[in-house]
Amino acid sequence: MSRQETVERNAVEAVVQGHHDDPFSFLGLHEAPRGGLVIRAFLPAARRAALVEAATGAELVELECRHDEGFFEGRLPERRERFRYWLRVDWEGVERDIEDPYRFWPMLTDYDIWLLREGTHRRPFEQLGAHPMSTEDGVAGVRFAVWAPMAKRVSVVGDFNCWDARRHPMRLRRECGVWELFIPELAPGVRYKYDILGADGHRQPQKADPYGFAAEYRPATASVVAELPPAMPQLSRQRAEANGFSAPVSIYEVHPASWQLPDGAERTYLQWNELAERLIPYVRDMGFTHIEFMPVMEYPYDGSWGYQPVGLYAPTARFGPPQGFRAFVAACHEQGIGVLLDWVPGHFPTDAHGLGYFDGSHLYEHADPRQGFHRDWNTLIFNYGRNEVRNYLVGNALYWMERYGVDGLRVDAVASMLYLDYSREGDDWVANREGGRENLEAIDFLQSLNRIVGTERPGAMMVAEESTAWPQVTQPPDVGGLGFHYKWNMGWMNDSLEYMGCDPLYRKHHHNELTHSTLYAFDENFVLPLSHDEVVHGKGSILDRMPGDDWQRFANLRAYYGLMYAHPGKKLLFMGNEFGQLAEWDYEKGLDWHLLEQLPHAGVQALVRELNELYRRAPALYGGDCQSEGFEWIDYQDASQSVISFLRRSPVDGSIMVVVCNMTPVAHYDYRIGAPTPGRYHERLNTDATRFGGSGVRNPESLATVAETWHGRSQSLALSLPPLATLFLEPETDRP
């Protein structure tokens, strides 16, 4: 046997056994070593195969089966130039003409390869993943591309090839570590995965596509071929302004799987069209300006609530096809409602079909578990020092904004990204190059992310869930900040909930917890969150934290919500908070909507509706949310009676709102406060109103100041302070 024959035999065995690392060098139509052309094809279960010339439709040669597994070969000694062809195959008595995937030239351009290698491709999802397309000669199919630089062989597998990794091995573009293959005749809806022979020579568990645009309904784990959603125009001026610092931003946080359950027991989840019919009118009626969804990216485990996603580019199949979510976002915008998504670039789960050890190497995660494994959540941590990983994440942020039209992202668990020793003890972490605990690569990634989003999607909103005192989270990267637009104010949330949980008898000893947040209220651009994190893991509901008998609990809750809407910062309420959900949130159950049949719960809901209305209507309450000029104390020292008073002012039009909070169940009459301006004031909202379930202690329709110095002001007002209540008072000159 000649050396050439030995090489060919070994190549045939490599194809048949599924470990040929360069299939395009052997399969398809090639120049024969001894002249002419040779055609090779691997067609398991085929009885017969022939080469057909596309131009004439003539069979040029019947292929010889050289291996019992279905390896066919034919020779054309008289032909010199390659030509377009197809294969005529007899499959168990059924004859079909098929296109040969190994006749097509590389699909990625040199420019794309350069950008992918550098990690500077702003939209890598346009090249990677599965893309239905037609070739230059009109052949329809799907182009697959996946980054797996250390793999020895990558194949596309699916129903179309019986999940046989031998049938569709891919071409490696060594310049950037991307494997690609165009498979003719495939269309959207096809299930697929990647079968990878890893760097260590072992087959990996079959992997879902990191850039898959759709996925199977859990517990199935395959990716599904889907069209890349068309690019959407930039945010309209109206939508961009609605996300701005001087706009009223009131966010309704939703877990779409448990907001409401479908009628009947035959289905588990509402679909996007059903959510559009129910959720959008509800949010509009309640007066919220934005919906924030807990992660809707595909995730395998219901109990993670979406915070352990596997398919970052795929809207979860739980609520219907991807186009359903896109239509939902568009419907929100038609009603003037913005859509934010919780986004998780900090870690990913260890599920076998996911990103972990993707190509037989630690590709997306750090190899050292002190850097690459998160012990709190048993997840893997992205390697932000790798250009392609950063590219994957930044591209994903733009993908949701540009292809689904979302208004912004709330970035989850930012603190876990910023600190190398986050939730680690002793020597269970690796210091940075300067010997510190700051994750310099993550910092650079976040700055780059926010800079690119600001450039490519002006007007979009980036929000950080950052639970420490990390400085300049919402300052531009150019001055050393992280570049977010907003940060969750966890300090306010913790202090205020701690204070409200105290028996009113002892609140005078905790007065600082009520006032402390104003010392740093403008250090960042804040969102005040009462999120899902505050109603899980044994914490109970927000209502459940309020002390006293039933009447006092509801009164406390109403007073608290009044304070929240009066305090500087944008607002966020988790679903159920708006009507005083009694039970702790359970992701497997719908909210207890039947509670609205009871007046106290209906009263809380009515209050939140009116708070949203007042907040949106009164520039004094929102125009200065992020400016120190927007807040001024009247009196923060009345600890003995647990009363505070302050004013909010719009830096734009100078309008004023006076706010007074009485955090005891004792009504105060003729309670005097200094007035910012002389004249008449009107009680705009009183959380003790009977329509909210309160006792009905109120002030006259119109209150006049008197020339009596109080709280350092030349004019003052005498008020009736309801028990456990927040009052909003507006000067008559500012009345619309």
Tell whether the model's pLDDT for residue 735 goes beyond 50.
Answer: no
Comparing 262-271, 327-336, 585-594, 647-656, the range with the smallest average pLDDT is 262-271
SS3 198: coil
Residue 670 annotated among the catalytic residues of the structure: no
- pLDDT above 90 covers a percentage of the chain that reads 91
Domains delineated in the chain? 3-99 (2.60.40.10), 110-224 (2.60.40.10), 627-734 (2.60.40.1180)
The question of whether 465 is a catalytic residue gets the answer: yes
Q: Is the pLDDT of residue 265 over 80?
A: no
734 pLDDT above the threshold of 50: no
CA angle centred on 170, ends 164 and 172, rounded to 5°: 150
- pLDDT interval class at 5 (50, 70, 90): low
Give me the chain's average pLDDT, please.
95
Nearest to 393 by CA among 433, 448, 339: 448
Summarize pLDDT for 108-131 with one digit per residue, the tens: 999 999 999 888 899 999 999 999
Question: What confidence tier does 394 reach under pLDDT thresholds 50, 70, 90?
Answer: very high
Give the pLDDT mean for 623-634.
96
- Flag whether pLDDT at 137 surpasses 90: no
Q: What pLDDT does 6 receive?
A: 72
Q: Which residues of 599-623 are buried (b: 16+ CB within 10 A; e: fewer)?
A: ebbbbbbbbbbbbbebbbebbbbbb
pLDDT-above-70 percentage for the chain: 99
Residue whose tokens read 């708006």: 578
pLDDT tens-digit readout, 715-725: 999 999 999 99
Q: What pLDDT sits at residue 8?
A: 79
Q: Which candidate in 298, 412, 495, 734 is catalytic?
A: 412
The closest of 123, 119, 125 to 456, measured between CA atoms, is: 123
How would DSSP label each residue in 540-604? --TGGGS-SSHHHHHHHHHHHHHHHHHSSSEEEEETTGGGT--SPP-TTS---GGGGGSHHHHHH
The pLDDT of residue 92 is 83
493-515 pLDDT, tens per residue?
999 999 999 999 999 999 999 99
93 pLDDT more than 90: no
405-428: pLDDT as tens digits: 999 999 999 999 999 999 998 889
Reported as a single tens digit per residue, the pLDDT across 420-457 is: 999 998 889 999 999 999 999 999 999 999 999 999 99
| pLDDT, mean of residues 97-106 | 94
pTM of the model: 0.94
Backbone angles phi, psi at 554, to 5 degrees: -70, -40
208-258 per-position pLDDT tens digit: 999 999 999 999 999 999 999 999 999 999 999 999 999 999 999 999 999
Res 267: pLDDT: 74
Catalytic hit among 274, 465, 513, 683: 465
Query: What is the C-alpha radius of gyration for the chain, rounded to an integer number of angstroms?
Result: 32
Q: For the ranges 76-80, 522-526, 573-577, 679-683, which has the lowest average pLDDT?
A: 76-80
Residue 694: in which H helix or E strand, if any? none
**Confidence grade of residue 138 (pLDDT, cut at 50, 70, 90):** confident
pLDDT at 736 over 70: no
3-class state of residue 620 by DSSP: helix
What's the whole-number mean pLDDT along residues 519-540? 96
For residues 645 and 571, give the distance between their C-alpha atoms in angstroms, rounded to a whole number.
20
Nearby residues of 407 by Cβ (< 8 Å), 6 or more positions away: 235, 239, 242, 243, 290, 338, 339, 340, 401, 460, 461
| pLDDT level of residue 201 (50, 70, 90 thresholds) | confident
